[in-house]
Structure 1
């Protein structure tokens, strides 16, 4: 066993398939390396303490809103037969809460990796996701698994609810993704209910939009493999149009998308449930991305991030997260 160990994970962004994924259509999600979470375990003489942005003190006294984390820690200690282990756990997260970026899943992934690192044990991807799901079920009730799969991945994720959850081929390029936070908390349940009501009240309008969003995700998968930047940009903007028609965009998100296009973005759209949260824009290169990010901050974005496509990897087969993450 080590004296100190760290585990890391990433924020997630839904690239394509918002809302349509709820109705069995495919979605593409990507990890954001520039928005990460780290969990560091240090062995101590006495006690078990946690230090994070929501709580600082003994793990046994953690707030109810962190129940998922507490239960996951207990399960991991049981797994390694180390319930009496004394340690200090520090969680540092760049992932903003309630922005649809998978904050809780990223925390769970980092935690599991840190414990396996501390005990110097190999960790399969299946075991990682199974353990992270312990926290996610407590925090979210019935998680799809998409957040944890993406937070733990080195590549984009292809996801179909209750059917497929896999890493997909990704062609590295000079493209960059700009993410901008509107500063408004996303309203997931309200947005999902809104789309559901549209499907009931106006099926002739809403159902074709859901179908098209699913087809867009399918086309985008191939465009990602081919690095077809023109198609990717067009699909993003079409997605934004469809999501706005479904009623889940906002004036701020619409404005951000228009600003990004004005400053040479290939495409732009909201990401996540909408009614707040973040938008994303596709830039041809780092220079364009920096300009777009600057203009978005000037327009009121509270934070921006840039993710280069050069950094993504694609792995096949059984993936082990062993000791270096």
Structure 2
């Protein structure tokens, strides 16, 4: 029988708490309407893994090559087959194609989105309907046990659940997840600085700094925990004060810049211009030393913010929050 299964997963921005998820637990995240899609269909011979776009690539694997990784962009999809097989689910050759309008390696959880979408689509293709928590747990296993990237849980859960969430990752799986809604009338302006960096290497260096109890990183942990609590209190209000929320987002960027030391001159220019031309808050999102910034911008100011960024060597995206997390659809199913 021929069938085709598709899973779609959003990327995410981090409003507060980069790296805190693997240190003390909490973070505040918002899924965005830039998405990754994993499509799975029959293949009689091999496990054919494909990705299109900027990371365009294709590899064929035999069954005994599943779980063997080579620092390839498709290792995440390879690992998804492995963790599903480890559940006792029978696996056999398939074609998996990844497409995305998320910029890769840019702080928007593009790898987590691939992992979540791949797990959801592959498991469904093999006849196992997994709940969202299980999908996110398996996606985290891909990064923590299979590929050992050093990433925490927040990326997988934000992409898998969707929406604006407070997430406490002090336990595995996270023990506390609360959902909120951003105020209406705002766009999220994302700026990709197009600056390459090795995410796993940046995280590894942060973990060493934390293990050594370096003064600045300990200041980052303490002040960012306070900032997360402050932001959560703003979101808990009956009516969210958007300006206070924006100021809190910008404050979290300052902590990342001054204590974590992961900003760059270009990132600072993007933040400065976004705030000058109408954003109520702006911040680096992700590991830093490159990647993306985001700004929360009233709809009426979006054009002037994006215009202010045109002369910089960046790529700008205007998007909205995604209330949906991972969604699985059966596209085709028929007997040959």
Fold shared per TM-score above 0.5: yes
Task: Give the drift of 1:154.
Answer: 2.0
> 1:14 and 1:140, CA in 2 relative to 1: closer, same or farther beyond 3 A?
farther
Q: Equivalent residue for 2:57?
A: 55
2 CA distance for matches of 1:173 and 1:235? Answer: 18
Task: Give the drift of 1:114.
Answer: 1.2
Which structure dedicates a bigger proportion of its chain to strand?
Answer: 2
The 5-angstrom pairing of residues 1-325 of structure 1 reads 3-24=3-24, 26-33=26-33, 35-52=34-51, 53=55, 55-60=57-62, 64-65=70-71, 66-76=74-84, 81-84=89-92, 86-119=93-126, 121-137=128-144, 138-163=146-171, 164=174, 166-186=177-197, 188=199, 189-190=201-202, 193=205, 197=209, 203=215, 207-225=218-236, 226-246=239-259, 247-285=261-299, 287-301=300-314, 303-309=315-321, 311-312=322-323, 323=329
CA deviations over 1:241-282 (Å, ceiling 9, x no partner) = 222222322111111111011111111121222221111111
> 1:288 and 1:208, CA in 2 relative to 1: closer, same or farther beyond 3 A?
same
Residue correspondences, number: 314
Task: Give the drift of 1:232.
Answer: 1.1
> 1:167 and 1:58, CA in 2 relative to 1: closer, same or farther beyond 3 A?
farther
Over the aligned positions, Cα root-mean-square deviation in angstroms equals 3.2
Structure 2, unaligned stretches of length 5 or more? 332-336
Any idea what SS the aligned residue of 1:306 has?
A: strand
8 Å contact kept, 1:187–1:273: no
> 1:126 and 1:135, CA in 2 relative to 1: closer, same or farther beyond 3 A?
same
> 1:266 and 1:191, CA in 2 relative to 1: closer, same or farther beyond 3 A?
same
Structure 1, unaligned stretches of length 5 or more? 314-318
2 CA distance for matches of 1:196 and 1:63? Answer: 25
Query: TM-score w.r.t. structure 2 length?
Result: 0.80
8 Å contact kept, 2:161–2:326: no
Query: TM-score w.r.t. structure 1 length?
Result: 0.82
Is 98-107 or 276-285 further displaced after alignment? 98-107
2 CA distance for matches of 1:36 and 1:184? Answer: 21
> 1:153 and 1:307, CA in 2 relative to 1: closer, same or farther beyond 3 A?
farther
